[in-house]
Amino acid sequence: MKVLLISHACVIPVTWSKIEIFRSQCEIRVVVPHIWPYYGSYHSPSGDLVVPLKSFFYGKNHFHFYKNINDTILNFKPDLIHIDEEPYSFVTFQAAFYAKKLSIPYLVFTWQNIWKRYPWPFSSTEAYVLNNCAGLIGGNAESIKVFIKKGYEGPTAVIPQFGVESKFVDSVARIHHGSRLRIGFLGRFVAEKGLNTVFNAITKLPDVQLELVGAGPAISEWKHAISDLGISHQVHFSNPIASTDIWPLLRTWDVLVLPSLTKSNWKEQFGRVLIEAMAVGTCVLGSSSGEIPQVIGDAGLIFRESDHLDCAEKLKRLHDPILRSLLAARGLKRVLKNYTQERIVEQSLDFYNYVFSSGKKRSLCCV
């Protein structure tokens, strides 16, 4: 099968191993923007496997589209097009239009786990794309429910967009036995990440040390909150690091925490950092927001979002090295079973073949 994958996310270095694994399993070409903010120009070692195209409005997830993408489709002649973009995005409409014109089946991807009514032209774009697509991949289970509610009746699969490279998955969990519990957060410094819950939780836990790695608009508010709570000596801020360099950092923590808060227009869609932490044998603690409980499963602990008392109680439990050892071992197994790049590619190819051979069946849940 010849597959054309259209994905602005594939400019990110941590995705390149997925492309290489695809190459070993099928004939594939990957269309990416010629440039993307922060990551610059595409320069992976994948050779002609990847086609960087001139893009308009690059850097804007839902507004960008490509120059001459129709020529790429005509030259490659794919059997299937995987549009790795939201159904309401301009680039999705562009690719879907040419796919329909050339009678090529296409799939689309979504993270959107909250039902939203979009204004024109996004509403019309979404309707056109869904009415003509051969299948829908959701990065989380709730996203599929959202589009079924919107009337979508075609084949579906739940497959995360990217996994972790197998070479980063530890063979054994490492457990520290120090007197202090070292917890960490890695991600955007924004209100919806819910760090105030953790700040309040550790006011009664003097033996907990918290490291925050990242950047964002909430940093001033967080620093004031930490000062007001009298826990400045327990919290350390670190600058953001490249996604390819996170592994040594994750190994220094006893627990990674993701305390996300559900908002009217957002809830946690996956929490990639959870699987990255589990891959190196670091325990995970997450809130009940969005997909977090499904990602963690039995490999970590969950607290009620915004409930600092419940968060504190779970942190107290994680002081126990025996419990951390048990959860870390489960996390390693869970990543190997569901979240390596190899597993994501395998699930994707299963769905490609499923749709290509029997598009009238309803759904296939791959996770």
pLDDT band at 364 (very low <50, low <70, confident <90, very high): very low
Express each pLDDT in 193-228 by its tens digit: 999 999 999 999 999 999 999 999 999 999 999 999
pLDDT at position 178 is: 75
pLDDT at position 106 is: 97
In angstroms, rounded to a whole number, what is the distance separating the alpha carbons of residues 161 and 348?
9
As given in the structure block, the two tokens for residue 331 are 């996390």
Position with higher pLDDT, 325 vs 38: 325
By the 8 A CB rule, do 65 and 57 touch?
yes
Residue 103 CB coordination number (10 Å): 6
Mean pLDDT (whole number) for 132-160: 96
Q: Which of 102, 35, 39 has the alpha carbon at shortest distance from 73?
A: 102
In angstroms, how far is CA 26 from the centroid of its own chain? 24
CATH fold group of domain 2-163+340-364: Rossmann fold (3.40.50)
- The single-letter code of the amino acid at 144 is I
Mean pLDDT (whole number) for 309-322: 97
pLDDT at position 41 is: 61
Residue 174 pLDDT greater than 90, yes or no = no
- 6, 21, 164, 200, 215 from 305: Cα distances, Å: 35, 37, 26, 13, 22
pLDDT at position 17 is: 92
Q: Which of 38-52, 124-138, 353-367 has the highest mean pLDDT?
A: 124-138
Share of the chain above pLDDT 70, in %: 94
Residue 363 pLDDT greater than 50, yes or no = no
pLDDT band at 176 (very low <50, low <70, confident <90, very high): confident
CA atoms within 13 A on the CB side of 327: 28
pLDDT band at 13 (very low <50, low <70, confident <90, very high): confident
Express each pLDDT in 132-142 by its tens digit: 999 999 999 99
By the 8 A CB rule, do 34 and 66 touch?
no
90-101 helix and 122-132 helix, angle to the nearest 10 degrees: 40
In angstroms, rounded to a whole number, what is the distance separating the alpha carbons of residues 297 and 307?
20
- 21, 46, 110, 203, 209 from 234: Cα distances, Å: 42, 44, 38, 9, 5
As given in the structure block, the two tokens for residue 52 are 């960087």
Per domain, the residue ranges of the chain are 2-163+340-364, 166-338
In angstroms, rounded to a whole number, what is the distance separating the alpha carbons of residues 234 and 177?
18
Domains 2-163+340-364 and 166-338 share a fold: yes
In angstroms, rounded to a whole number, what is the distance separating the alpha carbons of residues 65 and 102?
19
Share of the chain above pLDDT 90, in %: 87
Phi, psi of 239 (to 5 degrees): -70, 155
Residue 302 pLDDT greater than 90, yes or no = yes
In angstroms, rounded to a whole number, what is the distance separating the alpha carbons of residues 198 and 191?
12
Give the H/E segment covering residue 149: helix 141-149
| pTM tops 0.85 | yes
pLDDT at position 44 is: 58
- 29, 85, 333, 354 from 100: Cα distances, Å: 19, 17, 41, 19
By the 8 A CB rule, do 92 and 118 touch?
no
DSSP 3-state percent helix, strand, coil across the chain (nearest 5): 45, 20, 35
What is the pLDDT of the chain when averaged over all its residues?
A: 93
CATH architecture of 166-338: 3-Layer(aba) Sandwich (3.40)
Q: Which of 112, 149, 153, 115 has the alpha carbon at shortest distance from 132?
A: 153
Express each pLDDT in 229-246 by its tens digit: 999 999 999 999 998 899
Strands 106-110 and 135-138: parallel
Residue 40 pLDDT greater than 70, yes or no = no
pLDDT at position 357 is: 85
As given in the structure block, the two tokens for residue 97 are 């239009």
